[in-house]
Amino acid sequence: MSSAAAFSYAPLLPTGPDQTEYRLITDEGVDVVHGPGGRRFLTVEPAALTALTAEAMHDIAHYLRPAHLAQLRSIIDDPAASPNDRFVALDLLRNANIAAGGVLPMCQDTGTAIVMGKRGRHVLTDGTDAEAISRGVWQAYTRLNLRYSQLAPLTMWEERNTGSNLPAQVELYAEDPDGHPDAYKFLFMAKGGGSANKSFLYQETKALLNPTRMMQFLDEKLRLIGTSACPPYHLAIVIGGTSAEYALKTAKYASAKYLDALPTTGSMTAHGFRDLELEAQVLELTRDFGIGAQFGGRYFCHDVRVVRLPRHGASCPVAIAVSCSADRQAVAKITPSGVWLERLETDPARYLPEVTDAQLDTSEVVRVDLNRPMDEIRAELSKYPVKTRLSLSGPLVVARDIAHAKIAERLDAGEPMPQYLRDHAVYYAGPAKTPEGYASGSFGPTTAGRMDAYVEKFQAAGGSQVMLAKGNRSAQVTRACQEYGGFYLGSIGGPAARLAQDCIKHVEVLEYAELGMEAVWKIEVEDFPAFIVVDDKGNDFFAEVTKPMLTIGRR
């Protein structure tokens, strides 16, 4: 073996200067005291951590970063974007405008609260930081119109909603942020299930580390993300890592733009870096998929981050993660000058174009009356090809995971399919809290694939003949629709606030009221946007766009 290299150290993820624009939350609860040796210590009261967290969770539920909104606007202005790309982008901008009112959150899945903090060595607290931060999460979720999504495991098989969206994921590190010993810096995230479920880990080898094989690999794996996490995405890819879990964590940070200031070249100190050239190549690859912003086009991704990390010679983890159209994160800091939070955009209306729907779509919108008998609704849908844009008006039944499981148990026990699933289209969704004076809280679609296992059984029993949700379905669903004359309609993932304000006119519980947002609901909708994704002839829009185009030749 060669002689050992001289000692050298670099952080694995050396972030650059902080360019964030902040706003002052408060200067209460922080003070500066002087210690031995002329050192200056920052004291932070628990109440300051709680107030910062509550404000951050409010802001990321209702506001977006200006850069994200500008990217949505650029889709509308891009002549190469498809009509569906532009329609989705406009709907997401309208949704952002409604959410910025501070009443309806931008997405009905208001997420798991994730907080990462770096506390400088001269920052003094009472040691209950995680508890104070969790209290701030609790304040935000119980006082705002947000949804409780966390389930407490009571036994291995039994769970119950905690009723507060706790626990939060809180990770605190002893590290001088940006070299400042008297600073405490944070990243706040709200990660919905659809987006979190599109985090992938692959254990590869050295064979992946050449340009041709890498692009073939990504062509295959990135298509598997699909649309159920609500594109356009901020996509992050991490190659390497000192462990599998570190690769995944780095991908999460990169998808939040937290690592944008990484170096762009490597060195023998083995720090991570961004590969800007590969980022551009991968972005172009995704634009050639044809998936687009959910229903065909170029804008599967807004942008791409590729981070290269050091690795053990026997391992090559690859982590992939996305931040979805609910791009919910903000950074914050506590310094001697006060408690500061990233300034998000409170006036997204300035990104809206002065155009009408008619200018954005070259195809005819088919209006579907859901008040008609199910056979008539299916006969109408059967006239049109996949990708056809629809406008739905009338009654929908809302049911998702737990309700589907209970209905399946009834069928297995010999009971008939509930009449409401025979008579009406079913919308997979779960609402956030309903604000006073509104018919509904934020009420966007759930990932359709979670209900795939029930479709054949339900359709054979006369139910779920027309389904509405987001994302792609399995081949099993396509076969069932062809056999039983069913349809799967794709709803735009993301604009839950706009759907609640503009499209949902009435909400009532039909069954299983004890399940809260997981109950079976009946809603009345007006001009609810959708697209035909799977038809009664065995056609599936996503079947073609998810096939890899780059192939690996045999030697």
Domain ranges of the chain: 11-191+326-352, 193-325, 359-534
Query: Which range, of 15-24, 184-193, 351-360, averages the lowest pLDDT?
Result: 351-360
Judge whether residue 228 has pLDDT over 90.
no
Return the higher-pLDDT residue of 42 and 551: 42
In this predicted structure, what is the pLDDT of residue 301?
97
pLDDT, average across residues 168-172: 98
Judge whether residue 506 has pLDDT over 50.
yes
In this predicted structure, what is the pLDDT of residue 552?
43
Judge whether residue 356 has pLDDT over 70.
no
Give the separation between CA 300 and CA 235, rounded to whole angstroms. Answer: 9
User: What are the angstrom distances between the C-alpha of 160 and each of 22, 432, 508?
Assistant: 38, 17, 23
In this predicted structure, what is the pLDDT of residue 336?
97
Bridge partners, 307 (sequence order)? 238, 274
Residue 493 token pair:
């993932």
Closest CA to 448 of 463, 468, 431, 465: 468
The whole-chain average pLDDT of the chain stands at 93
pLDDT, average across residues 328-340: 97
Q: Tell me which residue has tokens 């609860």.
A: 29
Judge whether residue 362 has pLDDT over 90.
no
The half-sphere exposure of 294 on its side-chain side, counting CA atoms within 13 A, is 34
In this predicted structure, what is the pLDDT of residue 359?
47
In this predicted structure, what is the pLDDT of residue 547?
61
* Longest alpha-carbon distance in the chain: 83
314-333 tens-digit pLDDT: 999 999 999 999 999 999 99
Give the separation between CA 460 and CA 69, rounded to whole angstroms. Answer: 44
126-144 tens-digit pLDDT: 999 999 999 999 999 999 9
84-113 tens-digit pLDDT: 899 899 999 999 999 999 999 999 999 999
In this predicted structure, what is the pLDDT of residue 549?
57
Residue 80 token pair:
């190469």
| CA–centroid distance for 402 within its chain | 21
- The CATH number assigned to the domain with range 359-534 reads 3.20.130.10
Judge whether residue 545 has pLDDT over 80.
no
| 3-class state of residue 544 by DSSP | helix
| CA–centroid distance for 392 within its chain | 25
Q: What is the DSSP letter of 101?
A: T
401 with 375: CB under 8 angstroms? Answer: no
Q: What is the pTM of this model?
A: 0.86
Share of the chain above pLDDT 70, in %: 96
| pLDDT band, residue 554 (cuts 50/70/90) | very low
40-44: strand order across its sheet: 30-34, 40-44, 123-124
Q: Provide the sign of the torsion angle of the four alpha carbons 121, 126, 130, 134, taken in this order.
A: negative
In this predicted structure, what is the pLDDT of residue 120?
97
202 with 184: CB under 8 angstroms? Answer: no
| pLDDT band, residue 353 (cuts 50/70/90) | confident
434-484 tens-digit pLDDT: 999 899 999 888 889 899 999 999 999 999 999 999 888 999 999 999 999
Give the separation between CA 335 and CA 55, rounded to whole angstroms. Answer: 17
371-410 tens-digit pLDDT: 999 999 999 999 999 989 999 999 999 999 999 999 999 9
| pLDDT band, residue 360 (cuts 50/70/90) | very low
User: What are the angstrom distances between the C-alpha of 284 and each of 247, 280, 356?
Assistant: 24, 6, 29
Give the separation between CA 262 and CA 279, rounded to whole angstroms. Answer: 14
In this predicted structure, what is the pLDDT of residue 16?
86
| 3-class state of residue 62 by DSSP | helix
